[in-house]
């Protein structure tokens, strides 16, 4: 199995960003969602974006954001990908992509095969779907360390690129990769010591576990 792309999300400090780069992660995620313990303010995002430029791709995470909020974030902090983690429809996702001219990823909450099937509607509207666990009503829509039944997306062959998220950490990511063959793996709370506090050792261990699993499959 090829080594999947790795995304470390919820980065809010230079140390965490440097750890993701040192671990050879492909994507660093910055959360623009006020309710999140990982939320970054525009000035903070600007510094992180500049530090990341040319070293790791920058993903901005938004939850049902309007154009004005996304434009404000982009004015402060150039981003390479916009991750939509709310209830955005295929039409809204396509609108965001056209308006900002950036790659768009749509996170989908998964608890059943019917939830996975919803991904098909995003073909042509976004570059990638991210399968994440469904979270309880009223809770954050992600970043909760919850996983779902990986067999629902095992070796998914859909009409667009995809990634696996939700409750992944250094201890379970090898099994998740072996069981799903996901081409991109995303984590946030699984590489933290407390909500919003990234642990550089866990970031390194996460990437190592992924590479060891991929290498062992050859
Ligand atoms: O990280 C957050 O605070 C967050 C807030 C709102 C929506 C999504 C959020 N995080 C994303 O959720 C998935 C799974 O996270 P975890 O690994 O289970 O903690 C991931 O894409 C995060 O980037």
Is residue 193 helix, strand or coil? strand
145 Cα–ligand 1 center, Å:
8
How does pLDDT run along the chain (218 residues), one tens digit per residue?
A: 899 999 999 999 999 999 999 999 999 999 999 999 999 999 999 999 999 999 999 999 999 999 999 999 999 999 999 999 999 999 999 999 999 999 999 999 999 999 999 999 999 999 999 999 999 999 999 999 999 999 999 999 999 999 999 999 999 999 999 999 999 999 999 999 999 999 999 999 999 999 999 999 97
Residue with tokens 């404000």: 72
Task: Tell me the ipTM for this assembly.
Answer: 0.98
Pairing of strands 192-194, 197-198: antiparallel
The response to whether residue 191 sits with its C-beta less than 6 Å from ligand 1 reads no
Query: Which residue among 39, 61, 109, 145 is best mutated to probe the pocket of ligand 1, counting the most ligand atoms within 8 A of its Cβ?
Result: 61
The CATH number for 79's domain is 3.20.20.70
Contact 107, 83 (CB under 8 A): yes
Atom of ligand 1 nearest to the CA of 189: 19
Atom of ligand 1 nearest to the CA of 37: 3
Q: Residue 24: what pLDDT? A: 98
Query: Which residue's alpha carbon is at the smallest distance from atom 8 of ligand 1?
Result: 142
pTM for the whole thing?
Answer: 0.97
Residue with tokens 């190592």: 208
Query: Which residue among 16, 188, 197, 202 is best mutated to probe the pocket of ligand 1, counting the most ligand atoms within 8 A of its Cβ?
Result: 188
The response to whether residue 109 sits with its C-beta less than 6 Å from ligand 1 reads no
103: Cβ contacts below 8 Å, ≥ 6 apart: 80, 81, 82, 97, 126, 127, 128
Number of domains in the chain: 1
100: Cβ contacts below 8 Å, ≥ 6 apart: 70, 71, 74, 82
32 Cα–ligand 1 center, Å:
11
Q: Residue 1: what pLDDT? A: 84
Provide φ and ψ at 207, rounded to 5°: -65, -40
Beta strands in the chain (DSSP E): 5-8, 27-32, 57-62, 81-84, 103-110, 128-133, 161-164, 184-187, 192-194, 197-198
- Rg (C-alpha) for the chain, rounded Å, is 16
Domain limits at 70?
5-216
């Amino acid at each position: 199995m090829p080594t999947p792309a790795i995304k470390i999300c919820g980065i809010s400090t230079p140390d965490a960003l440097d750890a993701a780069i040192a671990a050879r992660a492909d994507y660093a995620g910055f959360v623009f969602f006020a309710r999140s313990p990982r939320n970054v303010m525009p000035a903070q995002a600007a510094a992180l974006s500049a530090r990341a430029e040319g070293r790791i791709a920058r993903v901005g995470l938004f939850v049902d954001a309007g154009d004005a909020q996304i434009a404000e974030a982009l004015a402060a902090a150039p981003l390479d990908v916009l991750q939509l983690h709310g209830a955005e429809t295929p039409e809204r996702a396509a609108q965001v992509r056209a308006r900002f001219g950036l790659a768009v990823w749509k996170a989908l909450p998964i608890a059943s095969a019917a939830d996975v099937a919803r991904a098909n509607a995003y073909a042509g509207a976004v570059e990638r779907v991210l399968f994440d666990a469904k979270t309880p009503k009223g809770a954050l829509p992600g970043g909760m360390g919850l996983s779902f039944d990986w067999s629902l997306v095992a070796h998914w062959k859909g009409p667009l690129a995809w990634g696996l998220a939700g409750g992944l950490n250094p201890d379970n990511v090898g099994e998740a990769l072996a069981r799903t063959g996901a081409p991109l793996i995303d984590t946030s709370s699984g590489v933290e010591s407390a909500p919003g506090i990234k642990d550089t050792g866990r970031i390194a261990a996460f990437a190592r576990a992924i590479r060891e699993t991929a290498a062992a499959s050859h």
